[in-house]
Chains A and B, each alone.
Chain A
Amino acid sequence: AQSVSQHNHHVILSEAASLELGCNYSYGGTVNLFWYVQYPGQHLQLLLKYFSGDPLVKGIKGFEAEFIKSKFSFNLRKPSVQWSDTAEYFCAVNSNSGTYKYIFGTGTRLKVLA
């Protein structure tokens, strides 16, 4: 069965610090990968996605993620965080076979100190 692990449950950073959130998935086949963000009091929003091609994916608000197939990883990065990046971040995976089964991780709560 597919699963997603996000090892950092809580992260606290100062503004301008660099961010890397880990995501590892468990699935033997071809996958599509996603990062969602949930700002306080708001709905889950898609941050970026990987379907195929360049393993380095750029999303909104300066976020990027790198798919490393050999490590089953899809880590999220941002060179310099802002206070407004305070949110919960969720990694998700979907098998690349036309299913609607999107599996999510437990989420990482990021707090950015001004």
Chain B
Amino acid sequence: ETGVTQTPRHLVMGMTNKKSLKCEQHLGHNAMYWYKQSAKKPLELMFVYNFKEQTENNSVPSRFSPECPNSSHLFLHLHTLQPEDSALYLCASSLTDESPFFGSGTQLSVL
């Protein structure tokens, strides 16, 4: 366990499905992040929340919809995804001015 728990670990979905990724941390961190990790590409920052308020949205398509109900939980709602959205989705959390602490990720395959 890393302190940042992501579920599910693996997800296969069709392009018309709706699914959600969940992230949970009990480290007392105030910031939570979603990153996308694809082969041969840099980790792409998607969203950042600080104390439940979104502070970064890195031009992410609207088929990805984040939700942060409190500082300990972060969701990524997925709908009508494309095959190129297949990737490892990483959640992270941190305190202000501290580097992100990552979860193990959800490996997403879009068919």
- Say whether A and B bind each other: yes
Chain A interface extent, by class: 20 to 34
B94 at the interface (CB under 8 A from A): yes
CB within 8 Å of B: which A79-114 residues: 90, 92, 94, 98-107
Q: Most B CB atoms within 10 A — which of A45, A94, A99, A100?
A: A100
Question: Is there contact, CB below 8 Å, between B42 and A43?
Answer: no
Contact residue among B2, B55, B99 (Cβ-Cβ distance under 8 Å from A102): B99
Q: Is the interface of A mostly helix, strand, loop or mixed?
A: strand
**Cα-based distance from A22 to B83 in the complex (angstroms):** 32
**Cα-based distance from A21 to B97 in the complex (angstroms):** 25
Q: From residue B68, how far is it (CB to closest CB) to chain A in Å?
A: 13
Question: Is there contact, CB below 8 Å, between B42 and A103?
Answer: yes
Contact residue among B41, B94, B97, B104 (Cβ-Cβ distance under 8 Å from A43): B104
> CB-defined interface of B74-106 with A at 8 Å, one 1/0 digit per residue?
000000000000000010101011011111110
Q: Please give the residue numbers on chain B whose beta carbons come within 8 Å of chain A beta carbons, in ascending order.
A: 2, 4, 31, 33, 35, 40-43, 45, 48, 50, 55-56, 90, 92, 94, 96-97, 99-105
Known: A43-B90, A106-B41. 7 other contacts (CB 8 A): A43-B2, A44-B90, A44-B102, A46-B99, A100-B33, A101-B48, A106-B40
Top 6 closest pairs, chain A to chain B, by CB: A104-B43, A44-B102, A100-B48, A43-B104, A43-B2, A106-B42
